Structure 1
Amino acid sequence: MEFTLGQLAQLLQGKVEGDETLKVSRLDKIQEGAAGGISFLSNEKYEPFIYQTEATAVIVSEGFKATKSLKTNLIRVKDAYTGFTTLLEAYSQFTKASLVGVEEPSFMDPSSQIGELHYRGAFSYIGKNCQIGNNVKVHPQAYIGNNVKIGDNSIIHAGAKIYADTQIGSHCEIHPGAVIGADGFGFAPQEDGTYKAIPQIGNVIIEDHVSIGANATVDCATMGSTVIKKGAKIDNQVQIAHNVTIGENTVIAAQAGISGSTEIGSNCVIAGQAGIIGHLKIADKTTVGANTGVIKSIKKPNETVFGYIGMDMKQFLKSYSIFKNLSDLEKRIKELEKKP
């Protein structure tokens, strides 16, 4: 694929400084740029590379001012990082759109329906009574169980497993190895010390524009639905338990775990390895720091919580009752120190 700088500037709503007829066919890191490539500069610590790069063009923000002579052409946009992201999205969409057709061997039950411009990779499996939209890409060795619904322009990557009755919206991306709709962790303790499995008869609903990372797991509900709302982004190796609700545009980083029946609000940020116990409610725009353990509901929006120490539970709760009052105790100590 080749595009002129003028065409790219039009796509990015920017302006070329240099020869807009020059063509690029590759996306490069600025420190590795070579002729025929295009890069971007958004972090000032990489600025020295713009004076050395051999890239044909570099995307920069409107406010960038060169302090030395440049060998490259510039495309000025409102924000360089956003502009380059737009370019990456366009490139990705173009690449994925080229995947059309059915590779053999693959299987789709005759009772299922799939839309136009779809792709089914080798060894993929689609069960009974599925409804799959237009331009859906099902990559090799992906498994889609019975009664699954998938909206237009969604991608099921290699080796992903979509259990029966799952609903996936439009423009979603399920990355390799993800498992959607496996049984929730439900076991009833018995008098003899054993555990009896509780049937998990619910499903998973994933709304539009959701991304589920590689090897992430989203369990089906015991009853009802586990719900991932519109625009949520789930990183690799995240565990979302049964009957959890993840709000719109919430992002969850790698190795975080959300226990059963917890409700996460919209526009929250859950950092890596955070753990949230079950049956809590987390308010909108909450930030949970890395390795943080959340053991009670967060009721006020825009809160940031951080910190976790593993210790005897009773000792921890006693210590916590003191810890949360440390600021008041410090104030009282300072007042006492001022007294004669």
Structure 2
Amino acid sequence: MKLIEISDMLGGRVTSGHDIEIDGACGVDDVKSGQITYLADLKLTTKLINSQASAVIIKRERHDIHIPQVVVSNPSHAFSKLLRMFYTKPFRATGVMNGAYISEGVTLGKDISIYPGVYISSGASIGDNTTIYPGVYIGENAIIGQNCLIYSNVSIREDVRIGNRVILQSGAVIGSDGFGYEMDGGRFIKIPQIGTVIIEDDVEIGANTTIDRATTGSTVIGAGTKIDNLVQIAHNVKIGKNSILIAQTGIAGSSSLGDYVVLAGQVGISDHIEIEAGTKVGAQSGVMENLKTGAYMGSPSLPHLQYKRSHILFTKLPELNDRINKLEKQLAELTKDINT
């Protein structure tokens, strides 16, 4: 594909080399001759100059970079378009393959692909153009929308509702029982978990992530939200639209997150917590009270600037302790001299 054709597709401007042929796209660390890369971080300029890249996608033209440049407003977004163009295989429906088990009363849409080893329980519904890979279990009356990708060994329990264009990575479990027990007579008695999970459109859920069904009502994942691997979402949690939850985050029961919330890796959210829209919580933070819109860090979580000041003081504690001990010793000596 000629560079000028790539530029036109991206809505960019070519600085030179309009007719050079580009046969692939790759990050700056691994790019080869004939491929195009992108520069989103100026720290990578030296790597780019020393690379074999035949062209680069860039935000502003650089005269110190002596390869053809495609100037666009958002290089990262433009590069993602090229990856889809060069490497995404066109969808081809395979139908229901031998070895898949489809129970009675299942509704199947048009142009679906269901691989061997899939088990779909009675009353379930699968939308058009959805692909279900080997080893997937779909429970009774579960509803899956159109253009979904469900990778191997996913479990979707009974009555779960999944929207359109949802991606479930391998090993995800949607609709497992919430962790609900009451003590009675010296032993724990299980509380029936009779609710469901609702996953709205354009959600992606990472590998081995678990989303528990509600005790009653629904656990809800809002449209456009992206969830990383190894995340635990407990019963009756409500997550807003276009939020980001990064690996090993855990959210306890009945907590509520607004739209555009970002939880970095290993964040822990206590139960019945409310986090306002647009809030960002740093890695390894512990949230034990409601948060208004802002940035937070630490455990227990503090506003970002307050946490930074507290952390600076914390690193100085050994020095401060030595000074206090020294002052106490001097005070004791002065007191002794006065008393004598």
> Scaled by the length of structure 2, what TM-score is found?
0.83
SS in 2 for 1:227: strand
Query: Is the Cα contact below 8 Å between 2:264 and 2:284 reproduced in 1?
Result: yes
Deviation string for 1:19-40 (max 9, x for gaps)? 4444333322223222332211
SS in 1 for 2:29: helix
SS in 2 for 1:23: coil
Q: Which amino acid aligns with 1:52?
A: N
Give the CA deviation at 1:99. 5.6
After superposition, where does 1:21-40 map in structure 2 within 5 Å?
21-40=19-38
Unaligned residue ranges in structure 2 (runs of 5+): 301-309, 314-340
The answer to whether 1:252 aligns with 2:250 is: no
Structure 1 residues 251 and 15, CA, compared in 2 at 3 Å: closer, same or farther?
Answer: same
Identity of aligned residues (%): 36
**d(CA) in 2 for partners of 1:5 and 1:98?**
29
After superposition, where does 1:157-236 map in structure 2 within 5 Å?
157-192=151-186, 194-236=187-229
Deviation string for 1:192-246 (max 9, x for gaps)? 2x10111101100000111111100000001110000111111110000000000
Structure 1 residues 137 and 25, CA, compared in 2 at 3 Å: closer, same or farther?
Answer: farther
**d(CA) in 2 for partners of 1:68 and 1:9?**
18
The equivalent residue for 2:15 is 17
Q: Which moved more, 1:288-297 or 1:162-171?
A: 288-297
**d(CA) in 2 for partners of 1:289 and 1:155?**
30
The equivalent residue for 1:305 is 296
Structure 1 residues 96 and 160, CA, compared in 2 at 3 Å: closer, same or farther?
Answer: farther
Give the CA deviation at 1:289. 1.7
1:273 paired residue among 241, 253, 266: 266
The equivalent residue for 1:294 is 287
1:69 paired residue among 47, 63, 66: 66
Structure 1 residues 173 and 304, CA, compared in 2 at 3 Å: closer, same or farther?
Answer: same
The equivalent residue for 2:83 is 88
**d(CA) in 2 for partners of 1:55 and 1:171?**
34
Give the CA deviation at 1:6. 3.2
Give the CA deviation at 1:112. 1.4
The answer to whether 1:128 aligns with 2:122 is: yes
Give the CA deviation at 1:66. 2.6
Give the CA deviation at 1:162. 0.7
**d(CA) in 1 for partners of 2:90 and 2:138?**
20
Aligned alpha-carbon RMSD (Å): 2.0
The equivalent residue for 1:42 is 40
Unaligned residue ranges in structure 1 (runs of 5+): 310-322, 327-340
Deviation string for 1:2-23 (max 9, x for gaps)? x333332232111333344443
1:142 paired residue among 131, 136, 143: 136
Q: Which amino acid aligns with 1:35?
A: S
Deviation string for 1:240-282 (max 9, x for gaps)? 0000000111111111110111111111111111111111211
Structure 1 residues 58 and 253, CA, compared in 2 at 3 Å: closer, same or farther?
Answer: same
Q: Which moved more, 1:268-277 or 1:216-225?
A: 268-277
**d(CA) in 2 for partners of 1:8 and 1:185?**
51
Query: Is the Cα contact below 8 Å between 2:25 and 2:82 reproduced in 1?
Result: no
**d(CA) in 1 for partners of 2:101 and 2:172?**
20
**d(CA) in 2 for partners of 1:212 and 1:68?**
39
**d(CA) in 2 for partners of 1:168 and 1:131?**
10
**d(CA) in 1 for partners of 2:86 and 2:268?**
36
**d(CA) in 1 for partners of 2:10 and 2:211?**
36
Structure 1 residues 96 and 156, CA, compared in 2 at 3 Å: closer, same or farther?
Answer: farther
Structure 1 residues 21 and 137, CA, compared in 2 at 3 Å: closer, same or farther?
Answer: farther
Structure 1 residues 261 and 60, CA, compared in 2 at 3 Å: closer, same or farther?
Answer: same
The equivalent residue for 1:316 is none
**d(CA) in 2 for partners of 1:91 and 1:149?**
33
Q: Which has the larger radius of gyration?
A: 2
The equivalent residue for 1:107 is 101
SS in 2 for 1:153: coil
**d(CA) in 1 for partners of 2:216 and 2:194?**
6
**d(CA) in 1 for partners of 2:3 and 2:96?**
36
Q: Which amino acid aligns with 1:176?
A: S
Deviation string for 1:308-335 (max 9, x for gaps)? 27xxxxxxxxxxxxx9xx9xxxxxxxxx
Deviation string for 1:40-62 (max 9, x for gaps)? 1111111123333323332122x
